[in-house]
Every structure is written in C-alpha cells, then in structure tokens.
Amino acid sequence: MKATLKSLRETKADPAVSIFVKTHREHPGNEQDPIALKNQLKVVEERLTNEYDKQTATTILENIHAKTDELNHNYNLDTLAIFASTDDVQIIRMPLDTKERVVISDRFATRDLVRDMASAVHYYTVVLTRDVARLIEASNDRVIKEFDNDSDRQNNMENIPFPIENNGLYTTGDAGSDRSANKEDNYLKEFFNQVDKSVQE
C-alpha cells in the first residue's frame, strides 16, 4: 500500500480526483456502504460537470463507474479511497479512519494517508496449531485481511500458500509408545518447518 500511495503522490493530472468514503468491515454495517459511495460519486459528478469540459468529466466518471459498479462491499475495511484521472482509476481499501470528502486538484490527496501510514505499525500474525497455520495481516489494532487460497499475493508461491493444513500428522492408534511420540514430534517439526518457509516467502 505504501508503494501505491508513493506512486499516487508523484502523479500529476488535470484533474486528479480523490474520493474518500467511510466503510464498514462487517454486516449489517456494510449494507450502507454502496449508498455512501453513491452519494460521494454524485458530489464528484456535480463538481466535474461544473468545473471541467464535458469530455473530461464523462471520461473520468465512466472510468470510476467501470471500477465501482461491481465492487464487492463484503471486503471493505474502514475507508474506501478512489483516485481517478482521465487515464486511470485506483481503488484502495484502507484500515484507517479518514474524513469523507472529495478533493479535485492537480495532485491526488495522499498527504494525510501517507502520514497515517508512516505512523502505523504494520505486521503479520501467524496463528499456529498442530492442525493448521493461518496468516493475518494487521495495522495497529486492526486486521487488514487474512490470507486465503484466493489471495493474489500468494498466486506464485514456491512454498505452500496460507492457510496451511497439516496433512501428514500422527495417527492416534499407537499414541502411548515412545516410537509413536517421536514420530509425531517429527511430523510436527516438519509441519512447522513448512510454515516457516511460507512465512519467510
């Protein structure tokens, strides 16, 4: 996210449209999110129509709608940030609280976001049991997301993508013997080693 914000901060466009919408992580709060987005897009449409020529306004609005009309609000975090120009539209779900607003300038409104991201503590948590390992990305006290098999960032993993199931674990038939206990320890060590490799990647 920091790299994306850095790229946006360095971009100049006329106009550069920045839209910030407060969103909700869970149901039923996220049922309000499409309405909040629609309200902000009305503000954008009104301002672009009044301040820019028809072709520029139409191009930007069509680009925004192409990206937002099918947006799945079940994946929202705390803020939906939309950065649009005549060339491109980027949508970022953010684990930060921001004021709802529309900013139209020659640069995207990223200063506050960059400052908030710089002061945020960003980390990953591995939840590990003998049966499964999960990987959760967080910022400050908020979960950003839990990695699953559909996570884009795991598409080309050399190691096992999260969540990782321990499919080679012990059988319970002979649990009392030293040999069985040693075998189980070895299975667990191998499982933890696999998880460690995936975490490192």
pLDDT, tens only, 121-133? 889 999 999 999 9
Question: Which amino acid appears at position 98 of this protein?
Answer: T
Q: What is the pLDDT of residue 176?
A: 54
Residues 2-118, CATH architecture? 2-Layer Sandwich (3.30)
Q: What is the pLDDT of residue 69?
A: 93
Residues of the chain with CATH 3.30.960.10: 2-118
Q: pLDDT class for 170, splitting at 50, 70, 90?
A: low
Question: Which amino acid appears at position 177 of this protein?
Answer: S
Cα separation, 31 vs 24, in Å, equals 8
Cα separation, 55 vs 1, in Å, equals 31
Whether pLDDT at 29 is above 60: yes
Q: What percent of the chain stands above pLDDT 70?
A: 95
Q: What percent of the chain stands above pLDDT 90?
A: 64
Q: What is the pLDDT of residue 178?
A: 67
Contact 32, 24 (CB under 8 A): yes
Q: What is the pLDDT of residue 199?
A: 94
Q: Which of 27, 21, 8 is nearest to 68 (CA)?
A: 21
Question: Rounded to 5 degrees, what angle do the CA atoms 119, 125, 128 make?
Answer: 170
Average pLDDT over residues 40-56: 96
Whether pLDDT at 31 is above 70: yes
Pull the structure tokens for residue 161. Answer: 């993508």
Q: pLDDT class for 112, splitting at 50, 70, 90?
A: confident
Contact 104, 51 (CB under 8 A): yes
Average pLDDT over residues 53-77: 94
Whether pLDDT at 175 is above 60: no
Q: What is the pLDDT of residue 64?
A: 97
Q: How many CA atoms lie within 13 A of 83 on its CB side?
A: 20
Whether pLDDT at 117 is above 80: no
Whether pLDDT at 37 is above 70: yes
Whether pLDDT at 26 is above 90: no
Q: What is the pLDDT of residue 169?
A: 62
Cα separation, 11 vs 183, in Å, equals 58
Question: Which amino acid appears at position 27 of this protein?
Answer: H
CA dihedral 190, 192, 195, 201 (to 10 degrees): -90
